[in-house]
Amino acid sequence: MPHDHHDHEHDNHLDPMDARVRALETILTRKGLIDPAAVDAIIDTYAHKVGPQNGAAVVARAWTDPDFADWLRRDATAAIAAMGFTGRQGEHMQAVFNTPDQHNVIVCTLCSCYPWTVLGLPPVWYKSPAYRSRVVLEPRAVLAEFGLELPTDTKVRVWDSTAELRYLVVPMRPEGTEGMGPEALAALVTRESMVGTGLPRVPA
């Protein structure tokens, strides 16, 4: 099973890369081109401030606030910015809503374009040649590897992020969540459900 043990085939490069990046950072710092404190701040931003919790808050609000959902559909960049989520790799956003008829999946076949402002840094699988090559060709086979089986009559739409539009999948609200507030709902919204390789959790 892919979930049990992921063999990081590239770990054999770990030590040389550690030395290489250290050396590069030292050279750049000595030349005054970068400041290690600024690098720390960038790392901290994506560790604590920017991540899939942002996207989950957007989705949960769309589930509970029809006016916001409408705005998100018409102008995702502005609607998402209004929640305080702006910046790099989120300058031009589009929200794509799953329906019973159509399931949406995002990819960047050409590099690793990903909606950073709402999902943070992409996971390894999103950047992997396996995902980028196959999800446009055989998305159902790929989704099955994530444990996601869709009804056979559901269309699968794959959005290839070839330009600077960044996509956020808005999954369908799970059944059995009536009466739940945005915070409790946000806890159900996984990163994979906002890429389209998964569905939200179902409340226990």
Active site residues: 108, 111-113
Candidates 63-71, 145-153, 169-177, 178-186; binding stretch for other proteins (CB under 8 A): 145-153
Which residues, 66 to 85, sit near other proteins by CB under 8 A? none
User: Which strand (E) or helix (H) includes residue 105?
Assistant: strand 102-107
**Residue 118 and residue 186: Cα distance in Å, rounded?**
13
Question: Quick check: 201 binds other proteins (CB under 8 A)?
Answer: no
For 53, phi and psi rounded to 5 degrees? Answer: -60, -30
HSE of 57, CA atoms in CB hemisphere, 13 A: 16
Cβ at position 30, least distance to other proteins in Å: 9
Cβ at position 59, least distance to other proteins in Å: 20
Candidates 2-10, 55-63, 65-73, 172-180; binding stretch for other proteins (CB under 8 A): 2-10
**Residue 125 and residue 88: Cα distance in Å, rounded?**
21
Of 59 and 122, which CB lies nearer to other proteins in the complex structure? 122
The binder of other proteins chosen from 53, 73, 75, 145 (CB under 8 A): 145
Of 37 and 178, which CB lies nearer to other proteins in the complex structure? 37
Of 8 and 183, which CB lies nearer to other proteins in the complex structure? 8
User: Which strand (E) or helix (H) includes residue 58?
Assistant: helix 52-64
CA dihedral sign, ordered 85, 88, 91, 95: negative
